[in-house]
Amino acid sequence: MSRQSRSHRLATVTIPAPDLRPEAFLRHAHGNARGFWAKGDRWVAHRGVTAEIRGDGSSNADRFEEVATAARELALDPLLPEGTARAPRVRYYGGFSFRPDHEASGVWADFPNWLFHIPEFELEGEDGDAWLRVRTLVSRDSGDDVLLRLRHRAEALRAELTAHGDRPISAGPRVSGKGTSTDRGAWELAVMESLGAIRNNSISKAVLARTLDVELSGSVDPVDIVSHLWEVSRGSYAFLFEPVPGSTLLGAAPETVATLRDGVFHATAVAGSIRRGETIREQADLAAQLLASEKDRVEQRIALNDMVARLETVAHQIRTDPQPHVLTLSRIQHLETEIRASVPAEVGILDLLRLLHPTPAVCGLPRDSAMAFLSEEEPFERGWYAGPVGLFDAEGNGIFVPALRTGVSTGSGWRLFAGAGIVEGSVPALEWEETAIKFELMLEALAESGADLAFSDETQMRSEVGPLREG
């Protein structure tokens, strides 16, 4: 990457595109890599690859520092249209695996230890406005003719998408699907093992995950899935990253590992769960029950205290909410505490990830002991599940969320992941039900995208489907 960066520079052109939507932009990616990142009314979609940063995890070096160094080298000396006051931030999109020793294989074959793209095209929107950006690597002696060609490419793409509209390329038939879950008995036994380790003081918390494999008779468009996640989970961070066509990671994370913008840090500590009620009264009653739960407040406090302690090594003016509040999502409610801080100029978003990942909300405590425990108890490779995914720029700004409420495509199907925080007082049957609720969002998104789902074990899966099985 360094040799390439010395002989090349990034050329960038941006045009207004208020009439474009991310769904159409992504559906017409023509087999290129693509991605989507959104929360509320702010979103960015990207396609194609101008440059990438990847690692296989075989090195003992600091993976966060390796990514930061490569990013700084690639973003140097941009080529911009004359009169441009400031270069747009060059952003890298992608993520890291949960474990630093991850090796790409199985369902994670196209997801190495870390992978980030500078895209060829970006479409960014906020408050009903949008901008289309095109980038390419050019030789250092390139001139304005390159920028003129880039502008023509951007305008041609905008015209093509405007003419086509926001319709899918083809509306395929509904496809049948069969789901197979982690064995309940085995999983609840693992919960008991976790409680035993807690009583023995080996760990104080473990976040135990399980999987749900959905095999489909045909394909569903990941864009339709993430669009549904975005629509119904406005309080979460919806994401899609597809490095290779047909191999897609997507989800809707309810929490933030780290956000950094010009020295201002923000994150959320989320832990403790209860379902969302069917009525306003029931929802309020369940929220009050969650706030009054000592077990859930302990779980949330563990996550908060650990994040603050780690931040104290680099940040100052750390501020947290005095008490947790209830975060209400489409299917579930959590306890949440906001964390804000000021960070010195020399500390970037990747430095913060090194400190904070994995948080107690996705791994447990103590970190190393919990990680080792999970590697023994979970009979599957986490890959990028619960790893930090998001975007950052060469100046050290960015946003990363844990890859939760997640599914990864596996050719003709999907593997879904869900986990529960096990602390003293956890009840195995209730933790199973919590993970079942967490699966519902992805199952609903698959169903809305054209999948007719059935399950290999009616009794075992009934709670995971809920209203999706009606009709």
**pLDDT-based confidence at residue 77 (cuts at 50, 70, 90):** low
Residue range 255-294, pLDDT digits in tens: 999 999 999 999 988 887 788 878 888 888 888 888 888 8
**pLDDT at residue 465 in the model:** 41
pLDDT above 80 for 41: yes
The residue count of the chain comes to 471
Residue range 285-331, pLDDT digits in tens: 888 888 888 888 888 888 888 999 999 999 989 999 888 888 887 77
**pLDDT at residue 7 in the model:** 67
Average pLDDT, the chain: 87
In sequence order, the β-bridge partners of residue 467 are: none
Which has the higher per-residue pLDDT, 450 or 353?
Answer: 353
**pLDDT at residue 467 in the model:** 35
* Phi/psi of residue 28, nearest 5 degrees: -105, 40
Which has the higher per-residue pLDDT, 12 or 165?
Answer: 12
Q: What is the dihedral of CA 363, 435, 182, 232, to 10 degrees?
A: -110
Work out the burial of residue 242: count CB atoms within 10 Å of its CB; fewer than 13 is exposed, 13-18 middle, 19 or more buried: buried
pLDDT above 50 for 183: yes
Residue 386 Rama label (left phi>0; alpha psi -120 to 50; beta) = left
Residue range 127-176, pLDDT digits in tens: 789 999 999 888 766 667 888 899 999 999 999 998 876 555 445 557 78
**pLDDT-based confidence at residue 227 (cuts at 50, 70, 90):** very high
**pLDDT at residue 468 in the model:** 31
What Å distances lie between residue 99 and 232, 335, 371, 398, CA to CA? 30, 26, 8, 21
Which has the higher per-residue pLDDT, 455 or 18?
Answer: 18
Rounded to whole angstroms, how far apart are CA atoms 372 and 394?
A: 33
* Phi/psi of residue 55, nearest 5 degrees: -145, 150
pLDDT above 60 for 85: no
Work out the burial of residue 79: count CB atoms within 10 Å of its CB; fewer than 13 is exposed, 13-18 middle, 19 or more buried: buried
% of the chain residues with pLDDT over 90: 59
**pLDDT-based confidence at residue 4 (cuts at 50, 70, 90):** very low
DSSP 117-181: EE-SEEEEEETTEEEEEEEEEEETT--HHHHHHHHHHHHHHHHHHHHH-S--S--PPPEEEEEEE
Angle at 444 between CA 440 and CA 450, to 5 degrees: 150
Angle at 98 between CA 256 and CA 306, to 5 degrees: 50
Residue 161 Rama label (left phi>0; alpha psi -120 to 50; beta) = alpha
Q: Report which DSSP code applies to 468.
A: G
Which of 456, 466, 468 is CA-nearest to residue 183? 456
pLDDT above 60 for 463: no
* Phi/psi of residue 455, nearest 5 degrees: -135, 150
% of the chain residues with pLDDT over 70: 88
Q: Report which DSSP code applies to 89.
A: P
Rounded to whole angstroms, how far apart are CA atoms 34 and 50?
A: 12
**pLDDT at residue 141 in the model:** 65
Which has the higher per-residue pLDDT, 462 or 222?
Answer: 222
Mean of the pLDDT values across residues 402-418? Answer: 91
> Which tokens go with 39?
């929360």
Rounded to whole angstroms, how far apart are CA atoms 462 and 457?
A: 8
**pLDDT-based confidence at residue 67 (cuts at 50, 70, 90):** very high
Rounded to whole angstroms, how far apart are CA atoms 300 and 298?
A: 5
Q: Report which DSSP code applies to 106.
A: G
Q: Report which DSSP code applies to 385.
A: T
**pLDDT-based confidence at residue 460 (cuts at 50, 70, 90):** very low
Domains, the chain, in order of start with CATH, read 2-164 (no CATH), 176-469 (3.60.120.10)
pLDDT above 60 for 466: no
Residue range 330-378, pLDDT digits in tens: 778 888 889 999 999 999 999 999 999 999 999 999 999 999 999 999 9
pLDDT above 50 for 458: no
- Alpha carbons within 13 angstroms on the beta-carbon side of residue 291 total 13
